[in-house]
Chain A
Amino acid sequence: MQGVSVVMCDFSCQPRKKVDCRSLRKELAKAGIQVVVAKKPCRQGIENLDDLQGEKVLFAGCPLLEENGLYGRFRERFSAAPANFLDLDVKRSILDLYDDAKSIEQALSRSIKAHARILEAKEAEATETVKPEAKVLVYGAGYSGLHAAAALCATDVSVDVLETSGPTVSPGCLAEALRNRDAVRKLRAAVEQSQNGVFIPHRNGVRLSALENGFHMRTGDGMEALYGAVVFAPERVEGPCAEEGALNLSALYAALERRQQLRGITAFLLDRGRPSTPEVVRDVLEAAKIIRDAHRGEVWVLLRNVQVSLQYQEELYGDCRDAGVVFVKYREDLSLVDDYGSFDIAGHDEQVHTAFSIHPDRLVIPQIPRLPAEAGVFAAALKLRLEKDEYSQSDSLWNLPNDTNRTGVFAVGSARSGMIPTLIRQDVSSLVAAVEERLDPAGFAVEENIPVVDADKCVYCLTCVRVCPFGAMAKDPEQGAARVIASACRACGICVAECPAEALEVRNLRREALFSAVEALAEAPDTRPPAAGSPAAGPPAAAPTSGGDS
């Protein structure tokens, strides 16, 4: 209670009930509180305000002080810190006990002690921080994972890279990797040469568990490590084509990589079944351009819908058209006849209203790239929410670029929302900033109003673990109850509403408080007639006591 001063009236207007503040002052002095007793402040004001010390000032007096504007003047005097005026509670409690001078002293003393408790609790809450672990785990040693690892190593963050067995480049960056053939090798060398990067083989399963300040990983080899943040950067895999003899995009790029000559007619068949994703379209256009320019082959791109505005691809479309790539917008009635590995395609071009028929030397049908199974398992362990097409984050209003639903897990590259070379570079630079912020040795603050678990009531049904959108609930087998991971919790209260055993309570708004607040709202009288349309219902103040018509 350092830094608190009390200014109080001596109540000299009522001689028999004059407050003897000596004992009070003595008691408060022990706690380091300065007490100023003003003589008739309502008439004379307080002259010696300059002597007042401390950041917080408590005023105690009768309603006259408010009526003659003294409180207002005090507020002006201490305008630098208006939040520090604690007068009202004290005043109210004093007014309740105005008859008895002794009880005024007791009330004041009680109020001050209560304030002290509130302030201490607030300070304790405000300083509740979690100190993170210092290391970062990067999942995936592919194009995007290595980009992230190299950038993090360069900023003196200690990085472990978990090597996965999937491909090193996923559709979207195939052309980029082809242009810059040893990009992956160079990035890997950069990580290996720096002092901070270590590669860990992904073997025999990896077990992850969430801790308060990060993640604990145990590999099948028995290696254990603690991480403050995880970067989720797996590469996607393109499945094989259903049509035997047709190539998928990865196979075509492998052929380009081998510098195989691709003469004759190459046909790309897009939007089969469902629209192709933008990153696939990008690689198709890039491949079409390469085949047309370098191999002088004839290229047809058959598609359903030309979405040129997607991800800056207008220019690429223009280049392809200039290079002589034929674009055909086919109708649903496209016929694809598989004649032992050679295809006959016939259909109707919607744009120029003519029928077409081609017999390509090779047919490329790009597949929708999917997360590999082991990456899916890893994401599930992290409680990552995979959205449409298994992206861990579509562009959300609420998320910063790399954020996922789980605090402390960041997504980069094809795990995030599409694989685009420029996007990866942007992502990596924002990732470095995000990780640095997360690993700040000073720790990060946690939400104030996180739920608490009543272990006696908890029946360990783990409903909260399933419903938490942020993966902030975990099992606690020792207690036989659920556990809140405060560093991941965003205090939405969804688990409180879902808990069938009512074992979860939000700290600042317990169930009874909420229900009684609703009841109080229902019972509050209408303060004005509806027709008068008097005071405007301003924005309701803090929940839950605000009435709509206060």
Chain B
Amino acid sequence: MKLLLLHCTESGQKVLARLPQIGYRLPSTVRTMELKCTGRINEELLLSSLEDGFDAVLVVGCHRENCRYLDGNLRAERRVQRIARMLADAGVMDKKVDMLLVGPDEGAKLAARIAAFLAPGAEPAAGAETASVPAQSGGKK
């Protein structure tokens, strides 16, 4: 399953940079792309990514009220929800879009979400489990 991570320069970039520190490696089917703010993402980009061959798109942005550009993350969230609804209405089951609001220290949360994406319905992948233990020590730094 091919997954595209669209993330912002702030929390999204920082949380990805933290993944190796907590011992999580991105699976090889995951591609990442950085945008300055997730507010740059629109429906067109989401749909064209799915069209290009990605099975899922996960947008990683900052927490609510934490966006450097005031409400870019909320704009992205609205669009992602809209596309998700459209896909569900159209009965497209094999493509997924989702949004994750994270802080820079929530690497484990991101890892768990990626694992859930890649193995839907299954137990969280080994990577995510190992990630959760050192994540706490990482968070205290």
Residues of A within 8 A of B (CB): 385, 397-398, 405, 449, 467, 469-470, 490-494, 496-498, 506, 514-515, 517-519, 521-524, 526-530, 533-540, 542-544, 546-549
Is A405 a contact partner of B70 (Cβ separation < 8 A)? yes
Whether A540 contacts B34 in the complex (CB less than 8 A), given A398-B68, A469-B70, A492-B72, comes out as yes
Is A518 a contact partner of B48 (Cβ separation < 8 A)? yes
Q: Which of B12-20, B83-91, B132-140 contacts A (4 or more CB under 8 A)?
A: B12-20
Task: Provide the residues of chain A in CB contact with B31, threshold 8 Å.
Answer: 521-522, 524, 547-549
Is B69 a contact partner of A536 (Cβ separation < 8 A)? no
Task: Provide the residues of chain B in CB contact with A385, threshold 8 Å.
Answer: 70
Is A515 a contact partner of B36 (Cβ separation < 8 A)? no
A544 to B16, CA, bound (A): 15
Whether A549 contacts B28 in the complex (CB less than 8 A), given A515-B48, A523-B53, comes out as yes
Closest CB in chain B relative to A171 CB, distance in Å: 26
Number of interface residues of B (CB under 8 A): 39
Interface centre among A467, A526, A537, A546, by most chain B C-beta atoms within 10 angstroms, is A537
The total of Cβ contacts below 8 Å across the A-B interface reads: 123
Residues of B within 8 A of A (CB): 2, 4-5, 13, 16-17, 19-20, 25-37, 39-42, 45, 48-49, 52-54, 66, 68-72, 75, 127
Task: Provide the residues of chain A in CB contact with B35, threshold 8 Å.
Answer: 493, 543-544
Is A518 a contact partner of B45 (Cβ separation < 8 A)? yes
A524 to B28, CA, bound (A): 11
Task: Provide the residues of chain A in CB contact with B66, threshold 8 Å.
Answer: 397
Closest CB in chain A relative to B98 CB, distance in Å: 17
Chain A residue at smallest Cβ distance from B49: A518
Is A494 a contact partner of B4 (Cβ separation < 8 A)? no
Task: Provide the residues of chain A in CB contact with B39, threshold 8 Å.
Answer: 492-494, 497
Task: Provide the residues of chain A in CB contact with B16, threshold 8 Å.
Answer: 537, 539-540
A533 to B71, CA, bound (A): 36
Is A514 a contact partner of B45 (Cβ separation < 8 A)? yes
Is B41 a contact partner of A533 (Cβ separation < 8 A)? no
Is B32 a contact partner of A542 (Cβ separation < 8 A)? no
Cross-chain contact of A490 among B13, B19, B53, B69 (Cβ < 8 A): B69
Chain B residue at smallest Cβ distance from A537: B26
Closest CB in chain A relative to B4 CB, distance in Å: 7
Task: Provide the residues of chain B in CB contact with A530, threshold 8 Å.
Answer: 27-29
Is B45 a contact partner of A529 (Cβ separation < 8 A)? no
Cross-chain contact of A522 among B2, B13, B32, B127 (Cβ < 8 A): B2
Task: Provide the residues of chain A in CB contact with B30, threshold 8 Å.
Answer: 537, 548-549
Closest CB in chain A relative to B7 CB, distance in Å: 8
A540 to B37, CA, bound (A): 15
A549 to B27, CA, bound (A): 8
Task: Provide the residues of chain A in CB contact with B68, threshold 8 Å.
Answer: 398, 490, 492
A498 to B72, CA, bound (A): 11
Known: A494-B39, A540-B32, A548-B26. 8 other contacts (CB 8 A): A494-B69, A498-B42, A518-B52, A522-B31, A530-B28, A537-B32, A544-B34, A549-B30
A533 to B27, CA, bound (A): 7
Task: Provide the residues of chain A in CB contact with B54, threshold 8 Å.
Answer: 522
A540 to B35, CA, bound (A): 11
Chain B residue at smallest Cβ distance from A523: B53
Closest CB in chain A relative to B68 CB, distance in Å: 5
Cross-chain contact of A491 among B20, B28, B36, B71 (Cβ < 8 A): B36
Chain B residue at smallest Cβ distance from A532: B28
Is B32 a contact partner of A497 (Cβ separation < 8 A)? no
Is B19 a contact partner of A546 (Cβ separation < 8 A)? no
Interface centre among B30, B40, B66, B75, by most chain A C-beta atoms within 10 angstroms, is B40
Interface centre among B13, B37, B71, by most chain A C-beta atoms within 10 angstroms, is B37
Chain A residue at smallest Cβ distance from B9: A543
Is A494 a contact partner of B34 (Cβ separation < 8 A)? no
Whether A539 contacts B17 in the complex (CB less than 8 A), given A497-B42, A524-B31, A547-B32, comes out as yes
Task: Provide the residues of chain A in CB contact with B36, threshold 8 Å.
Answer: 449, 491-493
Whether A493 contacts B20 in the complex (CB less than 8 A), given A521-B33, A547-B32, comes out as no
Closest CB in chain B relative to A386 CB, distance in Å: 12
Is A496 a contact partner of B40 (Cβ separation < 8 A)? yes
Is A542 a contact partner of B34 (Cβ separation < 8 A)? yes
Is A527 a contact partner of B28 (Cβ separation < 8 A)? yes
Task: Provide the residues of chain B in CB contact with A519, threshold 8 Å.
Answer: 48, 52
A527 to B36, CA, bound (A): 27
Chain B residue at smallest Cβ distance from A544: B33
Chain B residue at smallest Cβ distance from A469: B70
Is B40 a contact partner of A546 (Cβ separation < 8 A)? no
Cross-chain contact of A537 among B4, B20, B34, B69 (Cβ < 8 A): B20
* CB<8 Å pairs between A and B, sample of 22: A385-B70, A467-B75, A469-B69, A491-B36, A493-B37, A494-B72, A494-B75, A496-B40, A497-B45, A519-B52, A521-B33, A522-B49, A523-B53, A530-B28, A534-B25, A537-B30, A543-B34, A544-B34, A546-B32, A548-B30, A549-B26, A549-B31
Task: Provide the residues of chain A in CB contact with B52, threshold 8 Å.
Answer: 518-519, 521-523
Interface centre among A385, A469, A542, by most chain B C-beta atoms within 10 angstroms, is A469
Cross-chain contact of A492 among B37, B45, B53 (Cβ < 8 A): B37
A385 to B69, CA, bound (A): 12
Interface centre among A397, A494, A539, A540, by most chain B C-beta atoms within 10 angstroms, is A494
Closest CB in chain A relative to B113 CB, distance in Å: 15
A492 to B19, CA, bound (A): 25
Is A548 a contact partner of B13 (Cβ separation < 8 A)? no
Closest CB in chain A relative to B39 CB, distance in Å: 4
Task: Provide the residues of chain B in CB contact with A449, threshold 8 Å.
Answer: 36
Is B34 a contact partner of A546 (Cβ separation < 8 A)? yes
A28 to B20, CA, bound (A): 47
A530 to B3, CA, bound (A): 13
Chain B residue at smallest Cβ distance from A493: B40
Closest 3 pairs (CB-CB, A-B):
A493-B40, A537-B26, A539-B17
